[in-house]
Structure formats: structure tokens, C-alpha cells
Amino acid sequence: MMDGENRITLNVGGIRFETYKATLKKIPATRLSRLTEALANYDPLLNEYFFDRHPGVFSQVLNYYRTGKLHYPTHVCGPLFEEELEFWGLDSNQVEPCCWMTYTIHRDTQVGQKKIFLSFFKNDKGSSTCPTAIPIHIILCPPLPMNS
């Protein structure tokens, strides 16, 4: 088979990535391992697949297929990285040990923020003094006012 028939082009967020079909088969049961030309995101004119996803995270995803090592890109927040891994069908527990502490620090921060928030609504008997449960993201990230 010719080299061109083995290559595949992935357009992720407007950035084109090229790799081999065999590379994407290295991690089975993932979105990339199941690509077919019958998918709606395949463009036969451009001979590429388009994904409206974060290209910076995708470069790490594709590198994982190439090397078997998943590194955390420090230029994105942890929840975004987790969301992208979930979209691509990858397990976040595969993050390399050298990146694990940096990657998981956001989880520890979120847990700490939640504990502090909930401590404000506990009485001395340990029960909630808040009449209704308010999700923490409503308090920490209130909705923007609507324009009238």
C-alpha cells in the first residue's frame, strides 16, 4: 500500500495533524481508533476528519498514540484536559508520573474550595443551615446579568 493511503489527516480546531492509520489503532476502543469515512465529520473533498476541539490538548493526545506516554499540557486547566480526554475516549489515569502532581492539583483545589464553602453553611450540630442546596459553581461562578 502506498504511504499516502496509510496516512490520515485530522483537522482539530482548524489545525491539521497528520499521522498513520496504524498509529490510531494503537489504543483500541477510542474515538480515533474507530474512524471511518462514513462518519459525518469526514470531508471527502479535503480527505480529512474535522473535530471542533482544543488543538493544544489534541497535540498531547496524538503524541500519546505515537509514544504511549500521556503528558499534561500545562497551558490548559485540569478540567478542560479531563473533558478533552473524555471526548477522545482516553483514561485520565494514564497521565505520566512526571505530570501527575501538576495535573491533579486542580482536583485537590476543587475539593478544598467545596469544603470551605460547605463549612460556612454548617451549624454546630453538623447539619446544614442553608434552606436549599446551592451548587458550588453558582456561588463561585454566578451567571452574568442578561441584557434587557
Q: Please state the three-class secondary structure of the chain as a single string.
A: CCHHHHEEEEEECCEEEEEEHHHHCCCCCCCHHHCCCCCCCEECCCCEEEECCCHHHHHHHHHHHHHCCECCCCCCCHHHHHHHHHHHCCCHHHECHHHHHHHHHHHHHHHHHHHHHHHCCECCCCCECCCCCCCHHHHHCCCCCCCC
Residue 62 included in any domain: yes
d(CA 75, CA 97) in angstroms, rounded, equals: 18
Residue 148 included in any domain: no
Residue 135 included in any domain: no
Residue 75: what pLDDT?
A: 87
**What is the tally of structural domains in the chain?**
1
Residue 121 included in any domain: no
d(CA 91, CA 30) in angstroms, rounded, equals: 10
Residue 58 included in any domain: yes
Residue 122: what pLDDT?
A: 62
Mean pLDDT within 81-87: 95
Residue 8 included in any domain: yes
**Structural domain boundaries, residue 41:** 3-95
- The HSE-up count of residue 94 (CA atoms within 13 Å, CB side) is 17
The answer to whether 72 touches 60, Cβ cutoff 8 Å, is: yes
Residue 142 included in any domain: no
Residue 101: what pLDDT?
A: 86
> Does the pLDDT at position 38 exceed 80?
yes
> Does the pLDDT at position 138 exceed 70?
no
Residue 77: what pLDDT?
A: 86
| pLDDT tens profile 91-131 | 999 999 998 888 887 766 666 666 666 666 665 565 555 54
- Among positive and negative, which fits the CA dihedral 77, 79, 64, 36? negative
Residue 134: what pLDDT?
A: 54
Residue 114: what pLDDT?
A: 65
Mean pLDDT within 33-43: 95
| pLDDT tens profile 45-64 | 999 999 999 999 999 999 99
Nine cell digits for residue 137: 459553581
Q: What is the mean pLDDT of the chain?
A: 83
CATH number for the domain harbouring residue 30: 3.30.710.10
